[in-house]
Amino acid sequence: MDSVVGVIGGKRDPPQAEKRRMARPVAVTVVFVLALPLVFLFLFFGDRAASIAASSLVWQRLSLQSSRNASSFTVADAGSAHDRLLGGLLSPDFDESTCLSRYEASNRWKPSPFPVSPYLVQKLREYEANHRRCGPHTANYRAAMAQLMSGRNADHAECKYVVWLPLQGLGNRMLTVVSTFLYALLTGRVLLVHEPPEMKGLFCEPFPGTSWLLPPDFPYKDRFSPDSKESYVNMLKNGVVRYDDDNSADAGALPPYVYFHLEQVGLRLQNHTFCEEDHRVLDRFNWMVLRSDSYFALALFLMPMYRSELDRMFPAKGSVFHHLGRYLLHPGNRAWGIIERFYDGYLAGADERLGIQVRIVPYFATPFEVMYEQILRCTREHDLLPQVTGTSEPGARPTNGAAARKVKAVLVVSLKPEYYDKLHGVYYTNATATGEVVTVYQPSHDQDQHTEARAHNERALAEIFLLSYSDRVVTSGFSTFGYVAHSMAGLRPWLLPVPDKSKMWSDVACVRAASVEPCLHSPPSLVCRAEQDFDPVKNVPFLRHCEDVGFGLKLVD
């Protein structure tokens, strides 16, 4: 028997209209049920109701979002293969369960502002094939190891290797492993990564069908320094290698490996590290052991011998770390679990996410009050956070009702808890002038950096990725941690300059970065065989000095 609902004057309404009428009582019931708890909150909790209501709004949005996602899953999944592979950066040839983040991370990032070059995709697939041919546990690797242990280099070797050794904290390590991978792409080497105990399982394997982990029996992975006799600069100084040895000379007469030291000393990289004549000599070694604390990928752009390849791989110069970081660095399942739980539990339901990362540089311990005031000036001058009314009374409300109130989630990432405590208190006890609801969260506060601890590194990696899921981001100047987060996100950050020591104040609260690229704090000396050094910014159109480190260099478009 036909229902009388939707029948007027003996004629049945169209099916769509009938469905809408039937849905109205349900919608009213849902609104009433959702609103009733908020009424009780304001009756029983007074001022605390604002903070609790904010979280309630987020959870309502999460529930609504989840139901929508469930109903549209099939359609979204069918059309998302291209996005899951990040425009072709990622290979589809992986077992998804071994690394949950590899194909899921893109669901939370904003769309990349940089198209992926087809040539870069081609180079990555070629590299993966070469790594499978020469990587650990292959006949080629065993032959290369036998040659290494013989105490001499080999002429016309089938495979060449660069061994990455970790140095400094997680941000530095991520910048340098990406830089080393770019060097491997340009020189046909296979990248092998030394994984100490504090990094075990931190990242997934990035190359299909093989491993990037340096086998534990590799003999040369510690006791290196700038003074090591195996260092390239010292070999050059001591006459072990010479510029006038052309490529036809016997490579078998060289030592079995070379140590390439790229740690900043006096805010510069060593001379003879990024000159063409040096790299022609370095290319003759089959084994290179490399250790660095700097984003030296930029320095490769200063060398004409690599420029044409780099131009083809990266038409947008500001996309280098953005693309290679997303390709190479996938959190392991333990770290990904932290990321997923925190994001889905606290951030996913917000209309907008603002990341604030605070890192006090070791050489200048800025007092908390000074840095906190600078953060407030930055967020208010650039409309990143709304003004507060100075009262718990509700501020302006949208004309279409409370359900349309905008929720802004603020993610505070710092080793210290004070920044979260103060900012949370401001938006907990005061209404906003705009009527927006501001929620403030901090995943952890370890007080001090503990790079030697795996659990600390897992939390740090989780927070880098959580920051990269922001819509807008404020980061501390000079922070490699911040560089990695905003570069992975593809966001130009607002950088907080280090305050003037004499005034304990920064005249400029924050400055918008010219690109998403990290800063190379320690440019290489380019004296080479010339009589004097020069500033490459004057001659290279896609280089600028960094906003936060005046003598540093960064890539821009």
309-348 pLDDT tens trace: 999 999 999 999 999 999 999 999 999 999 999 999 999 9
Give me the pLDDT at residue 420, please. 97
437: tokens are 């609801």
CA-to-CA dists, residue 349 to 6, 125, 499, angstroms: 35, 37, 35
- Cβ atoms of residues 322 and 487 within 8 Å: yes
126: tokens are 């070629």
DSSP H or E stretch at residue 170:
helix 170-187
Residue 441: φ, ψ to 5° = -135, 150
DSSP type of residue 96: G
pLDDT reading at 17 higher than 90: no
Chain centre to alpha carbon of residue 366: 25
Residue 452 — pLDDT band, cuts 50, 70, 90? confident
Residue 21 — pLDDT band, cuts 50, 70, 90? very low
> Domain extents for the chain?
7-78, 100-328, 333-555
**C-beta neighbour count of 374 within 10 angstroms:** 21
Residue 526 — pLDDT band, cuts 50, 70, 90? confident
pLDDT reading at 25 higher than 50: no
DSSP letters along 372-383, please?
A: HHHHHHHHHHTT
Give me the pLDDT at residue 400, please. 56
- Cβ atoms of residues 164 and 180 within 8 Å: yes
Show the beta-strand stretches assigned E in 322-481.
352-358, 407-414, 437-441, 472-476
Does residue 201 come out as left (phi exceeding 0), alpha (psi in the -120 to 50 range) or beta?
left
39: tokens are 């009424």
pTM score above 0.75: yes
- Cβ atoms of residues 478 and 172 within 8 Å: no
* Non-local CB neighbours of 93 within 8 Å, separated by 6+ positions: 208, 209
User: Of 180, 177, 135, which is closest to residue 158 (Cα–Cα)?
Assistant: 135
Residue 472 — pLDDT band, cuts 50, 70, 90? very high
Lowest mean pLDDT, pick from 76-85, 194-203, 462-471: 76-85
DSSP type of residue 542: T
Give me the pLDDT at residue 460, please. 97
Q: Residue 258 class from Cβ within 10 Å (0-12 exposed, 13-18 middle, 19+ buried)?
A: buried
Find the DSSP H helices in 243-357. 276-282, 297-300, 304-313, 320-328, 333-342
What CATH topology corresponds to 333-555? Rossmann fold (3.40.50)
50: tokens are 């604002």
User: Of 297, 304, 292, which is closest to residue 318 (Cα–Cα)?
Assistant: 297
Residue 393 — pLDDT band, cuts 50, 70, 90? low
* DSSP helix/strand/coil, 184: helix
Query: What is the residue whose two structure tokens read 């480190």?
Result: 549
Q: What is the mean pLDDT of the chain?
A: 85
Give me the pLDDT at residue 324, please. 99
DSSP H or E stretch at residue 513:
none
> Across residues 537-557, what is the average pLDDT?
95
Adjacent-strand bridge partners of 292: 262
Distance CA 100, CA 102 (A): 6
Give me the pLDDT at residue 269, please. 81
pLDDT reading at 5 higher than 70: no
- Cβ atoms of residues 377 and 509 within 8 Å: yes
CA-to-CA dists, residue 178 to 11, 326, 533, angstroms: 69, 10, 27
> Across residues 420-438, what is the average pLDDT?
95
Longest dimension (CA), the chain: 103
Percent of the chain with pLDDT over 70: 80
User: Of 291, 290, 288, which is closest to residue 144 (Cα–Cα)?
Assistant: 288
pLDDT tens figures, 410-427: 999 999 999 999 999 999
DSSP H or E stretch at residue 58:
helix 49-71
* Non-local CB neighbours of 533 within 8 Å, separated by 6+ positions: 525, 526, 527
Q: Which residue has the higher pLDDT, 283 or 451?
A: 283
pLDDT reading at 235 higher than 80: yes
pLDDT reading at 307 higher than 90: yes
pLDDT reading at 359 higher than 50: yes
475: tokens are 């980061």
pLDDT reading at 1 higher than 60: no
Give me the pLDDT at residue 271, please. 75
pLDDT tens figures, 49-60: 444 445 555 545
Distance CA 178, CA 325 (A): 6
pLDDT reading at 35 higher than 80: no
Residue 472: φ, ψ to 5° = -140, 155
